[in-house]
Structure 1
Amino acid sequence: MSFSGKPTTLVDRAIPNDGFWPDLGVADFQTIYRLPAEYLEELLVEGLTTAMGEVNRDLAKRKTAWQAAGITSVENADPQLLPERGFYAAVYKRAVYCRAKAQLLQQFATVNRRAEAANLAKESPDTEAQFLSFSQQAVRLIQGRGRITAVLL
């Protein structure tokens, strides 16, 4: 069920990744992050694909370092090389799904713009900022950095 009370039709479609980071599922995204039912499959796929590319770019240095250590896939990594592989795969998905939701929520006004359907929780810049923050926290966690970075000037 979406924010509007309309039943959500789950899209059983995989978004293939680069082989190193886990593949993503549109249905998982819809289920976990409760996207509005009004979004078409193509919009969801585009949002996930874009967010995936951005997160992959953010994590390029971490990927290179892990590959240099002999890790070829996060989900299937040797437990001796990456004992927290399941955790990192889950955090990666959180980074992508939160970034995609942040981007997609801002498009809701163009998808369904009836006065009675306006819902500030879906369209608010604060909601976008919150989900972008969730995504960035997940990226920083994979990078081995904390939530805050301070630099001595």
Structure 2
Amino acid sequence: MFVATGHTAAHQVNNNGFFPDLSSDDFIKTQKLDGIISGDRLVFALTLAISQVNTALMDWQLSQQRDGYMSLNAVPSSSINNQSRLIALYKQAVFSFAKAQLVEHYRDFDTTALGNKKAEMLDMNIDIYRRDANWAIADIQGKSRAIVELI
């Protein structure tokens, strides 16, 4: 797991105008990250995650814009801690996908049983981060969180 041991300078990741710009500093503050991840790597992970979430929400965004809401913040929503619930969910989706990517690319492997167990735990965490992201996307769209897979 990542542990905060250092400081990375904050970078703003500009978004598409509908969804909010995000700060790498907000990401760092809400996630367990260590100081070895560079600011450029954080920005890259956030950029990819924003792209993934924005693609998943593209039809929903267009529907909101057709209804006259030109930004996520303008879409009617309850407020939590003086912030739109939808903004909080959007950050959850982006930050979860970004964290999944970082964990996936920075996990350590060794040949010991302990190393294999650690890798298995990280794989479970990656799945949890992706699940959280998908749940946040479903919540934004007002859809059910149920995921059914045929075997």
TM-score relative to the length of structure 2: 0.82
Q: Aligned to 1:107, what secondary structure does the other structure show?
A: helix
Q: Do the aligned partners of 1:106 and 1:122 also contact (CA within 8 Å) in 2?
A: no
Alignment-mate amino acid for residue 105 of structure 2: Q
Cα contact 1:50–1:100 (8 A) shared by 2: yes
Partner Cα separation in structure 2 for residue 19 and residue 53 of structure 1: 13
Letter in 2 for 1:83: S
- 1:15 aligns with 13
Aligned equivalents of 2:88, 2:100: Cα separation in 1? 18
Q: How many residues align?
A: 140
8 A contact 1:108–1:123 mirrored in 2: no
Counterpart residue identity of residue 84, structure 1: S
Task: Give 5+ residue unaligned stretches, structure 1.
Answer: none
**Which residue of the other structure, out of 29, 47, 50, is the alignment partner of 1:49?**
47
- SS of 1:106's equivalent? helix
Task: Find the partner of 1:130 among 128, 131, 143.
Answer: 128
How big is the shift at 1:147? 1.0
Greater alpha carbon shift after TM alignment, 31-40 vs 141-150: 141-150
Between the aligned residues of both structures, percent identity stands at: 27
8 Å CA contact retained: 1:108, 1:122: no
The 3 A distance-change label for structure 1 pair 103 and 122 is farther
Any unmatched runs of 5+ in structure 2? none
| Deviation of the 1:107 alpha carbon | 1.2
Give the equivalent residue in structure 2 for 1:84. 78
The Cα shift of 1:127 comes to: 0.8
Structure 2 distance, partners of 1:125, 1:59, is: 26
Q: TM-score, normalised by structure 1?
A: 0.81
Q: Does 1:60 align with 2:54?
A: no
What residue is the counterpart of 1:143 in the other structure? Answer: 141
Q: Deviations over 1:38-58 (max 9, x none)?
A: 111111110000000000000
Q: Contact 1:106–1:123 (CA<8 Å) still a contact in 2?
A: no
Distance 2:96 2:147 in 1: 21
Query: How far off its partner does 1:129 sit?
Result: 0.3
Give the superposition deviation at 1:11.
2.3
> SS where residue 28 of structure 1 aligns?
helix
d(CA) in 2 for partners of 1:71, 1:29: 26
RMSD, matched Cα: 2.6
